[in-house]
Structure formats: C-alpha cells, structure tokens
Amino acid sequence: MTNVKLELTKYLKSKLSVEVYASTVPEQAVLPAVALQNIAFESDRVLSGTKTKRMSRWRVVAVAKPNDLQNLIASLELIDNTGNDVFSKVFVDLTLIENKDPINVHQRAFLDIEVYNK
C-alpha cells in the first residue's frame, strides 16, 4: 500500500524550492515554506460498487511574504493536471489567500490538492 503523504511530500519537494512540512509550518521556520495536511480520503467507487480508495484530498498551506507567496502559488499551480510514477493525476485548486495582517510581514494561502493513486 502506498504511503500517500510520504509520496506527495516527495512530489512537492521535487517541484518546489521551499521546505515542505507535515501539518504546520513551524513558527521559527525559514520562509517561504508550505505545510501539507490530509483533509479527506474519498471512497470513490467503480461501476460494480467497489470502493477503490485511490483518491485523497490534501490542503497545502503556503506561508511567505506577499511577493514570494504569489510565486509560490504559481509554482504550486504548475503541478495542476500532472502525474508521476505514483499518482495518475494531481489536481491543484487555490482556495484562499488570506488578507495580510498589517503587523505581520508574511501572508498565507490555502490550496487543495487532489491525488489519484495508480
């Protein structure tokens, strides 16, 4: 059985020039960076009714200064509609860019990634 989180983390690291963390970006992390969180394992079904458990959905939280954040989002969106040896398809959707807090120099964006295992 494929460890989807490990494989997706490796895939993101191969495509991005930033650190990829599990769950949250640590407070003292070098930024920009991203965190990867599982938000759903779908029970997709084939015509016979069998659950394949091939699809899962992940949330990527990107943290960076505003200009760097736009570049990071663009890099993540380049992954949309791609695949590799493990995933037949990887889809990326930008969900939200938080308003920048006037006190904080960094900003966050949330993107959802849907992967289909081979």
In a 13 Å sphere around the CA of 40, the CA atoms on its Cβ side amount to: 10
pLDDT at 7: 93
Return the pLDDT at 37: 95
> Domain holding 85: CATH number?
3.30.2000
pTM for this prediction = 0.87
Q: What is the pLDDT of residue 40?
A: 83
Q: How many domains does the chain have?
A: 1
Question: CB–CB of 98/19 below 8 Å?
Answer: no
3-state secondary structure of 63: strand
Q: How far apart are CA 61 and CA 111, in angstroms?
A: 7
Structural domain of residue 21, as residue ranges? 4-44+51-117
The neighbouring-strand residues paired with 83 are none
- Residue 75 confidence (pLDDT): 97
Per-residue pLDDT of the chain (118 residues; tens, 9 = 90+): 578 899 999 999 999 999 999 889 999 999 999 999 999 876 666 667 776 667 889 999 999 999 999 999 999 999 999 999 999 999 999 999 998 878 888 999 999 999 998 8
Query: What was the pLDDT predicted at 9?
Result: 95
